[in-house]
Structure 1
Amino acid sequence: MGVPHLDSGPMRAEEFFAFTATRPDDEKWELIEGEPVLNATASRLHQTIIRNLTVLLDALARETSAPWEVLPGLGVRISDISVPVPDVLIRPATFTGVECDDMIIAFEVLSPSTANKDLRWKRKAYATLPSLRQYVVIAQDAVEVVSFDRANDFAERRFETAESVLDLPVIGACMDLREIYRGTGLL
């Protein structure tokens, strides 16, 4: 039999999916430039914001019979060696499988351990997807949301008060920051 040769190159997406299929469901893995990365367990504030986003967006989708769906924690294939997982995404409502490459809006809730990656690497990586129209980053320690929109060449727009309204033009919606931060104790 001998000793098998190890591939010292970056992990590919198919290898990554085979690997994550063997991991417990409560682990959140991402493939970032060929390296599998295990994310820390999310805080209560982080999960509260994700729940608020998901509930608000899902209600809007149902009310309007939207041709899109909202999903938390789904991998997005950026390339054969990068499959990041946004906290929440919106994509066309035709999904099957464990990944997508057609999200139209991505949401990330900043954590101390992921803030730099979310603001730098993910922003640039997500912008390479032709389908992406908006990337929204949400602070979990302050009422502060930053939106990067393709229509404005991904220029930064900041929303910093509970009365601010985040617009999501690609789905024809607006969200009050008060609703995004409901139950966090930050208002």
Structure 2
Amino acid sequence: MKSYARLVAMNLAVRKTMTLAEFLEWEARQELRYEFDGETPVAMAGGTFAHAAIQRNLALAIGGRLRGKPCKFVGSDLKIEVAGSSRYPDGFVVCSPVANDAIIINDPVVIFEVLSPITASTDRTIKAREYQATPSVQRYVMLEQDRIAATAYVRADGDWNVHVLLNEAVLAMPEIGVEFPLAELYEGLDLTPNADQDDRATSDQTSDR
């Protein structure tokens, strides 16, 4: 009965409109992780092996290159506050000092999301708007799982430029002083770039605009 009552209470909370402060207080009591879309909690879905591999490679590629520098790479266990919402990106970089007991960061500089069929629409639209509305964010990188490809939104002179990276492209992030081959994020995955993928990337970019 206790488990059933807890499930009912959780379902009611998920449907209830909250403030960010109310959500953070509520989430602290939950066993599972939730994002906050500005009004209600959103349950986090599980991922694939490819998703996990790309997350791991992000930590290795960026975390290693930032050793000894002010900026730090943070994985998906820590949430960020963006435009009144609370999100767990697949990775991000913060360049300000962070307390050891911090549970939320409000000034990420670079944000990474690994796209999936379930989350791609939200990542490309709602989260893109939230991240762009956050003054500290200089770059938002969306990584695809099934091919070596990324779309990066880059802040420039008060506007946002869109860059599509494929296959042997270099992911350059001057705002944190890091660059490396995009393919490094796909090490350990069986992906074979081909012409059809390039054509699809062009089509995706056209539709995004």
**Percent of residue pairs identical:** 30
Matched residues in 1 for 2:40 and 2:111: separation?
21
- Taking structure 1 as the reference length, the TM-score comes to 0.87
Query: What pairs up with 1:1-187 in 2 under 5 angstroms?
Result: 10-24=17-31, 27-62=32-67, 65-73=68-76, 74-80=78-84, 82-96=85-99, 97-151=102-156, 153-161=159-167, 163-187=168-192
- Secondary structure of 1:104's aligned partner: strand
- Name 1:3's counterpart in structure 2: none
Write the deviation string for residues 50-71 of structure 1: whole angstroms up to 9, x where unpaired.
Answer: 0000111111111xx2111111
Letter of the 2:81 counterpart: R
- How far apart are residue 94 of structure 1 and its match? 1.2
Letter of the 1:106 counterpart: I
Q: CA RMSD of the aligned region, Å?
A: 1.9
- Confirm or deny: 8 A CA contact 2:138 2:175 kept in the other structure: yes
Q: Unaligned regions of 5+ residues in structure 2, if any? A: 1-11, 193-209
Matched residues in 2 for 1:79 and 1:136: separation?
18
Write the deviation string for residues 24-57 of structure 1: whole angstroms up to 9, x where unpaired.
Answer: 2xx3310012110112111110010000001111
Write the deviation string for residues 78-125 of structure 1: whole angstroms up to 9, x where unpaired.
Answer: 244x11221100002511321111000000000111000000011111
- Give the paired residue count: 176
Letter of the 1:86 counterpart: P
Q: Which has the higher helix share?
A: 2
Instruction: Tell me whether 150-159 or 83-92 shows the greater mean CA deviation.
Output: 150-159
Letter of the 1:36 counterpart: P
- Secondary structure of 1:132's aligned partner: coil
List, as ranges, runs of 4+ consecutive aligned residues in structure 1 with deviation greater than 2 Å: 6-10
Matched residues in 1 for 2:33 and 2:142: separation?
19
Q: Unaligned regions of 5+ residues in structure 1, if any? A: 1-5
- Confirm or deny: 8 A CA contact 2:83 2:133 kept in the other structure: no
Matched residues in 2 for 1:159 and 1:19: separation?
39
- Taking structure 2 as the reference length, the TM-score comes to 0.79
Matched residues in 2 for 1:52 and 1:125: separation?
25
